[in-house]
Structure 1
Amino acid sequence: MELFAVPNLPEVRPGDDVGALLRDRADLRNDDVVCVASTVVSKAEGRSVDLASFPAGPRARELADTLAEHAAGDPDPRFVQAVLEESVEVLMETPFLLTETRFGHVGVNAGIDRSNVPEGDVLLLPERPGDSAARIRESLPADRVVVTDTCGRPFRHGQRGVAIGWDGLQPSRDWRGETDRDGRELGVTVENVVDELAAAANLVAGEGDGGTPAVVVRGFEWGDHAGSDEHFREIGTDYVRQAIRGWSYA
């Protein structure tokens, strides 16, 4: 398997066809996996916005005051309002906002970005990243597309690439029912393939002003394994989320 960045992508503007931009700059094969950073997807979909679009309500001002007591800096209540409007649940209120987005991703500040936003104050995540991946795939000879983002992970330091949308493949490879080297049947192993592809792509894409927003994974083979549509954990089996709901910051 090999990975390479798509070169010479221009600054993406609202209305741009991301798939066409990629197709014109990479010699793609039908079995490639194209990993695209959510930043360029959001820019093409007009998700760069000014904070003036989010006048702060009472709840946002209350949360901003609480954050100011426990976090560095002075949070803008309008930014907090944007986080609330992009979320279906606030899991943690301090020392930072940990929320669930409308499409099921759990992350800090609903994944809203303040970096690399030339046409607004903030950049929101795509509204429906799975649909975004499907639209990009329509413009490509490649059969599989993953929309990626970066975020932290419990019990680990630093950020890594994750998948927030995909099309043309199932998110997870299901090993249950297969056997290990000693012939024992696997009972719980479900491998999150789209997250692994996103993390591998992020190693090639890089970060900051030297980063590239699209990476092609060539030679990845699913193999003779069942697939699973599971990706975002269901609340009933998400024991970490249940614990966080009962936790308070001290």
Structure 2
Amino acid sequence: MELHAVSDLPEVRPGDDLADLVADRAAIEDGNVLTVASTVVSKAEGRTADLSDFPAGPRAREIATRLAEITGEEKDPRFAQAVLEESTDLLMEAPFLLTETRFGHVSVNAGIDRSNVPDRDLLLLPRDPTASAERIRAGLRERTGADVAVIVTDTCGRPFRHGQRGVAVGWAGMPASRDWRGERDRDGRELGVTVQAVVDELAAAANLVTGEGAGGTPAVVVRGWEFGDLAGSDALFREVEGDFVRQALRGWEYQP
């Protein structure tokens, strides 16, 4: 497998066609996987905002006050309001905001970014990253004739570990995972629980190439990777009923 960052991409503006931008700068072939950082997808879709777009309500002011008391740093209640409006569920409100987005992704601050937004205060996640991936995939097929998969990526922290890694928040043209259950290990034992989240693994691999900060390489072409003949599934985000960590959080309150 080879991963190649798409170089010389310009600063993405609202209305830009990401498929056009990539096709002009990279050789796209059947079977490739294109990963695209959610930051540029959001910029192309006009998902930037100012704090003034989110006048704080009572709940946001209460959250900001408590966070300031815990952290010792002033918190803007308008940012808390933006997080609330971009979320369907608030799982934790101290010592940070852990939320579920409209499309099922659980992350800190609803994935709202405050970096690499030169003219605005906030960068929101795409409204529907999988629909975004479908549009980019269709655009690449129209431009190049190639049948490729597309993964929209983001970086986020992980429970029980330090640091961030790339994850998939939307995908098209391939299943989210491949199912090894029923296969056998080298000793002949049948695998009973292994379902490999391949879109997350490809997102993490691509993040090693794109890097963080001011690198300016938000798109990566993956060549030579094959899904194989295993069964696939698009079940990536856990349902509440089967998410025991989320259920435990509902009865937990932060005590400084």
Report the TM-score when normalising by structure 2.
0.96
Deviates more, 1:136-145 or 1:182-191: 136-145
Q: Any conservation in 2 of the 1:23–1:139 contact (CA below 8 Å)? A: no
Query: 1: distance between equivalents of 2:183 and 2:215?
Result: 42
In the aligned structure 2, how far is the partner of 1:210 from the partner of 1:12? Answer: 14
Count of residue pairs the alignment pairs up: 250
Residue in 2 that maps onto 1:206: 211
Aligned pairs for 1:1-250 (under 5 A) are: 1-140=1-140, 141-250=146-255
Q: Hey, what's the Cα distance between the residues in 1 that align with 2:28 and 2:157?
A: 31
Aligned equivalents of 1:142, 1:213: Cα separation in 2: 21
Residues of 2 paired with 1:136 and 1:65: CA distance? 41
Deviation at 1:119, TM superposition (A): 2.7
Q: Confirm or deny: 8 A CA contact 1:34 1:142 kept in the other structure.
A: no
User: Is the 8 Å Cα contact of residues 9 and 216 (structure 2) preserved in structure 1?
Assistant: no
Letter in 1 for 2:115: S
Amino acid at match of 1:85: E
Instruction: Give distance in 1, aligned partners of 2:215 and 2:206.
Output: 15
Give unmatched runs, 5+ long, in structure 1. none
Amino acid paired to 1:132:
S
Percent sequence identity over aligned pairs: 71
Offset at 1:118?
1.5
Question: Tell me, which stretches of 5 or more residues in structure 2 are unaligned?
Answer: 141-145
Aligned AA for 2:180?
A: W
Deviations 1:147-188 (A, max 9, x none): 000000101100000000000000000011111111111111
Query: What is the RMSD of the two structures over their aligned residues, measured on CA atoms?
Result: 0.9
8 Å CA contact retained: 1:103, 1:128: yes
- Give the ranges of 4+ consecutive aligned residues of structure 1 lying more than 3 Å apart after TM superposition: none
Cα offset, 1:245, TM superposition: 1.3
What SS is found at the alignment partner of 1:210?
coil
What is the CA-CA distance between 1:142 and the residue it aligns to? 4.5
The residue type paired with residue 215 of structure 2 is G
